[in-house]
Amino acid sequence: MRARDIMTSPAITVTPVVPLKGAAALMVSHGFTALPVVDDDKQLIGIVTEADLVRGGYLEEGGTVVADVMTTPAVAMDAAAPAEMLARVMVDDQRRCVPIVDGSAVIGVVTRRDLVRAIARTDTTVTADVQRVLDVYGGGRKWTVTVRDGEVVIGADTTDEDTERVLTALADAVPGVLHTRILVGGQR
């Protein structure tokens, strides 16, 4: 599973000149814990978090803007980043939100909630989604799919290396898939 599969997009962003009360209102109205900060060209320059907003009582001061409190530079990843890497960064660096970028343009965000939502998908739902994707790719039911605790096993009578790579990539793109392996002809 990749960032593109679980990110919230389009991302709601703010510029450095937005008043803190405006940034706080956006966070509250959307249930966010952070907002990417972009320049006039929509390029990522920082992030403003709940902690940034409440640190030092900034909300009581009249002219305070996002630029006064934002964290810069922001840690960002591209859309192909594995979910496991996002989770590691969030836990190790104590981040609740990671902007997803194409170059330095923000195209989405992944939050801890996005990761938990993907993990919480039932094996039955993941099985159905993976099977549907593979059936479309193969033009019918050519492979069997079983899922246990997010691990996908794709059963095939025969296959080749290229097909295995495609099947694995298709399965890994389904939210809730943690790992995929191919089982050919009943061998383990």
**123-184 adopts what CATH topology?**
GMP Synthetase; Chain A, domain 3 (3.30.300)
Given CATH 3.10.580.10, say whether it is the number of domain 3-118.
yes
Per-residue confidence (pLDDT) for residue 101, from 0 to 100: 95
The upper half-sphere exposure of residue 92, i.e. CA atoms within 13 Å in the direction of its Cβ, equals: 7
Number of neighbouring beta carbons within 10 Å of residue 156 = 18
Number of neighbouring beta carbons within 10 Å of residue 29 = 9
pTM to 2 decimal places: 0.68
Per-residue confidence (pLDDT) for residue 38, from 0 to 100: 96
Q: What is the DSSP string of 145-186?
A: EEEETTEEEEEESS--HHHHHHHHHHHHTSTT--EEEEEETT
Rg (CA), the chain: 20
Per-residue pLDDT of the chain (188 residues; tens, 9 = 90+): 789 888 988 899 999 999 988 999 999 998 888 999 999 998 999 999 988 888 756 656 667 889 999 998 889 999 999 888 998 999 898 888 999 999 989 999 999 888 888 777 788 999 999 999 999 999 888 999 999 988 999 999 988 999 999 999 999 888 888 889 999 986 54
- Runs of H (alpha helix) within 32-177: 50-54, 66-69, 83-92, 112-119, 123-138, 161-172
Strand partners, 179: 151
Per-residue confidence (pLDDT) for residue 57, from 0 to 100: 62
Domain range summary for the chain, segments of one domain joined by +: 3-118, 123-184
Per-residue confidence (pLDDT) for residue 121, from 0 to 100: 78
